[in-house]
């Protein structure tokens, strides 16, 4: 995992420099796409499936879909990770349907009382399969300094867009060779 993220950073950094861009957002967009591509390559090498969900490829290894997410462009503790306010309904649904289940609430929501929107957020993606679980691969990175930290584990998305981690592990960083 660390090696694949380092390679993705190297390519995103090279594209950013070659384009002569000063803004950081193109680096982030390139990095996001490259990380997904590199994780898909890992799945294929392991003869595991790669599933297309709404135009994005997700590596599925041992019935666990890998969800990469750059949560900051500078070093920041994992407990400060937050899904952006403009995150797509697809991202939210991935967490609701395939992430860890929330603790039991005070009252169960009866299917007859739940709205279509609520039910839709909890419906598993057919492309992934109902039993597929979500494994979060969260990291911080920027074009100048590369990958700062990588964490992976199981996280539940909360209503305030923060995450409650059921389990997480910090992974070591891999060296990056940048093109001059």
Give the whole-number percent of the chain exceeding pLDDT 70.
Answer: 82
Query: What pLDDT, on a 0 to 100 scale, did the predictor assign at position 106?
Result: 46
Question: At residue 40, does pLDDT exceed 70?
Answer: yes
| Sheet of 56-61, strand order | 50-53, 56-61, 64-72, 133-142, 146-157, 163-171
Structure tokens, 64 = 């666990």
* DSSP-derived 3-state class of residue 71: strand
Query: What pLDDT, on a 0 to 100 scale, did the predictor assign at position 120?
Result: 52
Query: What pLDDT, on a 0 to 100 scale, did the predictor assign at position 110?
Result: 57
Query: What pLDDT, on a 0 to 100 scale, did the predictor assign at position 107?
Result: 53
Question: At residue 121, does pLDDT exceed 80?
Answer: no
Residue 179, CA distances (Å) to 11, 127, 160 in order: 9, 37, 40
SS (H, E, C) 89-110: HHHHHHHHHHCCCCCCCCCCCC
Q: Give start and end residues of each alpha helix (H) in the chain.
A: 2-19, 25-45, 89-98, 116-121
What is the rounded CA–CA span in Å between residue 7 and residue 115? 44
Query: What pLDDT, on a 0 to 100 scale, did the predictor assign at position 84?
Result: 93
Structure tokens, 86 = 């403009």
Question: At residue 29, does pLDDT exceed 60?
Answer: yes
pLDDT tens digit string along 55-113?
889 999 999 999 999 999 999 999 999 999 999 988 998 998 898 876 655 455 555 55
Query: What pLDDT, on a 0 to 100 scale, did the predictor assign at position 161?
Result: 94
What is the rounded CA–CA span in Å between residue 97 and residue 119? 10
Query: What pLDDT, on a 0 to 100 scale, did the predictor assign at position 37?
Result: 94
* Residue 108 and residue 118 in contact, taking contact as beta carbons nearer than 8 Å: no
Query: What pLDDT, on a 0 to 100 scale, did the predictor assign at position 1?
Result: 87
pLDDT tens digit string along 126-174?
778 788 999 999 999 998 889 999 999 999 999 899 999 999 999 999 9
* DSSP-derived 3-state class of residue 85: coil
Going by C-alpha positions, the residue among 35, 28, 93, 109 that lies closest to residue 66 is 35
Structure tokens, 117 = 């929107």
pLDDT tens digit string along 44-68?
999 999 999 988 899 999 999 999 9
| pTM of the complete model | 0.83
Q: Which residue's structure tokens are 């997904």?
A: 36
């Amino acid at each position: 995992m660390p090696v694949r993220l380092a390679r993705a950073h190297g390519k995103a950094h090279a594209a950013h420099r070659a384009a002569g861009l000063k803004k950081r957002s193109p680096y982030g967009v390139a990095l996001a796409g490259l990380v997904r591509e590199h994780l898909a390559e890992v799945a294929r090498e392991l003869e595991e499936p790669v599933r297309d969900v709404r135009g994005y490829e997700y590596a599925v290894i041992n019935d666990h879909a890998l969800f990469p997410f750059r949560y900051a462009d500078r070093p920041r503790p994992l407990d400060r990770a937050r899904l952006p306010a403009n995150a797509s309904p697809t991202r939210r649904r991935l967490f609701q349907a395939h992430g860890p289940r929330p603790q039991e609430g005070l009252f169960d929501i009866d299917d007859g009382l739940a709205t279509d929107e609520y039910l839709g957020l909890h419906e598993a993606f057919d492309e992934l399969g109902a039993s597929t679980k979500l494994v979060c691969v969260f990291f911080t990175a920027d074009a100048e300094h590369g990958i700062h930290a990588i964490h992976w584990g199981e996280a539940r998305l909360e209503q305030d867009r923060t995450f409650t981690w059921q389990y997480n592990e910090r992974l070591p960083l891999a060296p990056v060779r940048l093109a001059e």
